[in-house]
Amino acid sequence: MISIPMATYNGEKYVSEQVDSLLSQTFSDFSLYVQDDASSDGTWDILTTYAEQYPEKIKVSRNRVNSGSAKHNFLEMMCRMQDNYLMLCDQDDVWLPDKIERTLTKMKEMEKEHGTETPILIHSDLTVVDKQLQLINPSYRQAMNSNYNRTALHQVLIQNCITGCTAMYNRSLSALLNRIPVYCIMHDWWLELVAAAFGKIGHIDDQTVLYRQHGKNSIGAKDVRSLSYKVSRLINGKEVRDAIYITYPQAESFLIAYQERLSEDQRETIRNYCGIPKLGKLSRWRRTCELKAFKNGLSRNIAYFIFI
């Protein structure tokens, strides 16, 4: 009923806590599929022990050669796996006991409203914690100043608002993930683009995951509301500019992958967005305003218009 792909790599410190949190869920009708990315520590031994203890629940596999990143490891699984529902799982977090139950309830509500044939993506807030699971910030959404109602394609092109480790998506959405993209920034951003273009995105305001920060996260949590963060973004203009300009090849890759399925209006929006870097400064501002391709929050948009 529910398949949970987990990508692992050198995660021996935390992976047991994560697997245990899945085994302690209030909803137990799921299967965990772990794909290890050629770990060089004790991760594989830990995983095989769990698979031996829970052969009907946990399946493990191992890449012969490292894929290069958690993104690539996840994308391979996402494009291969099919089930009624799928939930992405990081190796170093801890799921709260009712995460699956609550997310599935929200999914069922949206499928009742929109139909099971509609591609649907559900995600939630997170609690940010340190290595020892001590509280850093009770709400990742608030720390990141995220607006979960920004689900239109022109909004998702410029900014990702979901965190993959909270996501559940249905069979209709997984059916659209049939090829690894030429380029994408992160696997969860790609998932959100597909859902924004062809389906519906719903969210749970509450937290369902303890989001562990340990210094080696692929994507970490920052409090973007702080003055120090805003100043650092203005000082480090290249970093801001790079973060903007990598969205253009991602949009182009999305257009190539789904051009036959996209509407003409959607294709035009994406083509116009991809053309922004070729324009002069004033024309870039004008095009951005025409597309309403803004970020969330005043300070983000000030930086965006300075460095675009």
125, with CB counted inside 10 A (0-12, 13-18, 19+), is buried
Mean pLDDT of the chain, nearest integer: 94
Classify residue 27 by its DSSP letter.
Answer: -
Q: Which helix (H) or strand (E) holds 9?
A: none
Cβ(188)–Cβ(5) under 8 Å?
no
What pLDDT, on the 0 to 100 scale, is given for residue 43?
98
- Residue 65 phi/psi, 5-degree rounding, is -125, 140
Is 130:139 a contact under the CB 8 Å cutoff? Answer: no
User: Is-above-0.85 flag for pTM?
Assistant: yes
Q: Which carries the bigger pLDDT value, residue 219 or residue 23?
A: 23
For residue 303, the model assigns a pLDDT of 87
* Domain-wise residue ranges, the chain: 2-212, 227-307
Q: How many CB atoms lie within 10 A of CB 130?
A: 12
3-class SS of residue 285:
helix
Q: What is the pLDDT of residues 129-143, one digit of tens each?
A: 999 999 999 999 999
Q: What is the pLDDT of residues 193-223, one digit of tens each?
A: 999 999 999 999 999 999 999 866 544 555 6
Cα–Cα distances in angstroms (integers) from residue 34 to residues 6, 42, 169, 214, 262, in the given order: 5, 15, 18, 21, 33
DSSP symbol at 7: E
Rounded to an integer, the average pLDDT of 263-272 is: 98
Please give the share of the chain, as a percent, with pLDDT higher than 70.
Answer: 93
**Could you tell me the fold of the domain covering 2-212?**
Spore Coat Polysaccharide Biosynthesis Protein SpsA; Chain A (3.90.550)
In SS3 terms, 127-149 reads as EEECCCCCEEECCHHHHCCCCCC
Q: pLDDT of 35-89, one tens digit each?
A: 999 999 999 999 999 999 999 999 999 999 999 999 999 999 999 999 999 999 9
Do 258 and 250 meet the contact criterion of CB atoms below 8 Å apart? Answer: no
Q: CA 90, CA 15: separation in Å to the nearest integer?
A: 9
CA distances from 267 to 32, 158, 254, 262, 286 (A): 37, 16, 10, 6, 19
Q: Which helix (H) or strand (E) holds 17?
A: helix 15-23
